[in-house]
């Protein structure tokens, strides 16, 4: 599982040159190995559809639905009213309120501090206070 995460992180590091087929294949391999790890989060009763894997110190807001196939890296924050499936979030990420993410990858140290986003099949990176500032690439 960690091997696929490292390869995905390397791919999104070459943001402009991401090969669509490579990222899709790596995500499929990663999710086929994903297990459950639901301890060590801070939050009030999120809903999990397994498999969901949470690294240490993940903060989860109210009315959050995670899964299936969700990985969230350490020290990340998921704000209120978020739904995600088939999504990988690397460490030190902030996801704003009222987001819906399906089949996405969020790069390490990204901060998406705005409300209302519905996106599929995309890589998202960087620091953004609005949708206009968001760096994204479809795959």
Residue 76 lies in a domain: yes
Q: Look up the domain containing 45 and give its range.
A: 36-130
Residue 71 lies in a domain: yes
pTM of the model: 0.94
To 5 degrees, how large is the angle CA 112–CA 39–CA 11?
45
pLDDT band at 4 (very low <50, low <70, confident <90, very high): very high
Q: What is the CATH number of the domain that holds 61?
A: 2.160.10.10
Task: Tell me if 136 is assigned to some domain.
Answer: no
pLDDT of 45 > 90? The answer is no
The DSSP code sequence of 10-21 is: HHHHTGGG--HH
- Could you read off the pLDDT of 92-119 as tens digits, one per residue? 999 999 999 999 999 999 999 999 999 9
The backbone torsions φ and ψ at residue 28, rounded to the nearest 5 degrees and listed phi first, read -60, -45
- Whether 72 is covered by a domain: the verdict is yes
pLDDT score recorded for residue 16: 79
Whether the upstream peptide bond of residue 51 has omega within 30° of 0, thus cis, is yes
How many domains is the chain built from? 1
- Structure tokens of 96? 């704003």
């Amino acid at each position: 599982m960690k091997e696929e995460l490292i390869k995905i992180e390397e791919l999104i590091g070459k943001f402009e040159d991401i090969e669509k087929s490579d990222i899709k294949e790596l995500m499929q391999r990663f999710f086929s190995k994903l297990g459950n790890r639901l301890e060590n989060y801070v939050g009030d009763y999120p809903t999990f559809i397994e498999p969901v894997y949470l690294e240490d110190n993940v903060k989860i807001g109210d009315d959050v639905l995670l899964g299936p196939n969700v990985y969230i890296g350490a020290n990340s924050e998921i704000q209120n009213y978020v739904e995600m499936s088939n999504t990988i979030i690397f460490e030190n990420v902030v996801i704003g309120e009222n987001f819906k993410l399906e089949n996405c990858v969020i790069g390490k140290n990204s901060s998406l501090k705005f409300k209302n986003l519905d996106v599929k099949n995309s890589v998202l990176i960087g620091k953004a206070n609005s949708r206009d500032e968001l760096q994204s690439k479809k795959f």
